[in-house]
Structure 1
């Protein structure tokens, strides 16, 4: 088994290897990367992250299709169109995410940007309850489901109160919050510090964390996210989630 120092050096080396612009070429983050306006980055990032399960080329293709259906300007689309004109989304499908879910997501995002100050405001208000990302995720979910929706759509926004690992939401927060010189994450949001972020736990990061002795829990749930993130904070308390690049890269590319 690795010593703490050996683990630190390995994680640092792998983070630097994968946290670079070439990472974007195979990652859904390329979808919001096409935009410069903050609100477009947020909306494109949220929608791309929301359908980020399955094969990555399919995720990216379908996320770009969503952007095209919104005229490649999602913020203007949500501000200046009405649901009666959204017929083109009824046939959208990504795995179990269908047209009904898509129309609800757009309706909820429209509510968030018209009435709630935008995604950053909603997540930050939740975080400010007790300076925990868990509270940000809980508050966001409450706001997101304030508008009318079918029960089926609830499964597409992780509920950590039921133990979900919230991989896609944590990945979205990493994109929006983390800032460094590598040029991958956006670092747009200032109200949530990088030190508070949680690992986007998926099959790659979980497998690698267990192989390296960073995780003892076998299931991929919220308690596991808490355990592994606390371990990563022992290597860098200010930016523990930079090691997402190391764990994911080792699992996906090696």
Structure 2
């Protein structure tokens, strides 16, 4: 069996609704409004480190603190409402970080109808803008509010830091990829699935090395690019669908 056939089979196995239940993507699937999906998808991806069960529980706690309506809370809250967020903590992400995230969302949604615009700035001048440029531009935009907490910068990565940007690439996969499997949302159209970069977490990296899809020793942005380029050889239009196969093989211990 060749590699593409093997991985295509695993994509079919793991890219299905059963996958959602124990994965952080279950959080944005609790909502139907586009902006709720964006806000909680972003939080679920940013908070996605540690045990998946804990991540999901923390996101549900955050939803409760925002009165069950994240987008409405973001755009309509008064200063007194922010007290509901105090004391929130997940690993090194705390209420200082959370309050800045809420401030950014409020500012953004006052000017745009979708969070997508935060990731496609500059595309009017350059439609072929790369995800690398988009992520670097996004981080600058995210921290464009005055007096942002310095400590919060560590929670939003960028290729400039040589990070794999796993969480942001995962979020983009959720928002951009389009199929009929019911996992990814496909609600953004300004970025094409072919442009996406594969999220490179420990499970994906371990399996990709065994399959010789990664050869670089260090794990950084170049590693994510190398992996994605090799996946594009298998499917140039939708290379990141193989994230399901690599992650599933790693989590289920098949390799």
Match of 1:98 among 94, 103, 117: 94
Q: After TM superposition, what 4+ stretches of structure 1 lie above 3 angstroms from structure 2?
A: 126-130
Q: Deviations over 1:213-233 (max 9, x none)?
A: 111012221000110000000
Distance 1:185 1:127 in 2: 23
Deviation at 1:159, TM superposition (A): 2.1
Specify the alignment match of 2:182 in structure 1. Answer: 183
Specify the alignment match of 2:151 in structure 1. Answer: 152
Written as runs of structure 1 = structure 2, the 5 A alignment for 1:130-149 is 130-147=128-145, 148-149=147-148
Specify the alignment match of 1:7 in structure 2. Answer: 3
Specify the alignment match of 1:71 in structure 2. Answer: 67
Query: Secondary structure in 1 aligned to 2:120?
Result: helix
Distance 1:85 1:34 in 2: 23
Give structure 2 stretches of 5+ with no counterpart: none
Distance 1:36 1:85 in 2: 24
Residues 126, 135 of structure 1: 8 Å contact kept: no
Residues 169, 199 of structure 2: 8 Å contact kept: yes
Residues 75, 110 of structure 2: 8 Å contact kept: yes
Distance 1:219 1:65 in 2: 36
Deviation at 1:127, TM superposition (A): 5.2
Residues 85, 99 of structure 2: 8 Å contact kept: yes
Specify the alignment match of 2:51 in structure 1. Answer: 55
- TM-score when scaled to structure 2? 0.95
Specify the alignment match of 2:31 in structure 1. Answer: 35
* 5-14 vs 183-192, greater mean Cα deviation: 5-14
Residues 127, 135 of structure 1: 8 Å contact kept: no
Q: Deviations over 1:14-68 (max 9, x none)?
A: 1110000000011001000011111111001001111000110000000111111
Deviation at 1:253, TM superposition (A): 1.2
Deviation at 1:161, TM superposition (A): 0.2
Residues 85, 95 of structure 2: 8 Å contact kept: yes
User: More helix by proportion, 1 or 2?
Assistant: 1
Residues 40, 70 of structure 2: 8 Å contact kept: yes
Distance 2:247 2:123 in 1: 26
Written as runs of structure 1 = structure 2, the 5 A alignment for 1:82-93 is 82-93=78-89
Written as runs of structure 1 = structure 2, the 5 A alignment for 1:173-252 is 173-252=172-251
Give structure 1 stretches of 5+ with no counterpart: none
Specify the alignment match of 1:19 in structure 2. Answer: 15
Residues 126, 140 of structure 1: 8 Å contact kept: no
Instruction: Find out whether 1:111 has 2:91 as its counterpart.
Output: no
Q: Deviations over 1:167-198 (max 9, x none)?
A: 00000000000011111000000110000000
Say if 1:221 and 1:126 are closer, same or farther in 2 by CA, change over 3 A: farther
Give the RMSD, CA atoms, in angstroms: 1.3
Distance 1:173 1:140 in 2: 12
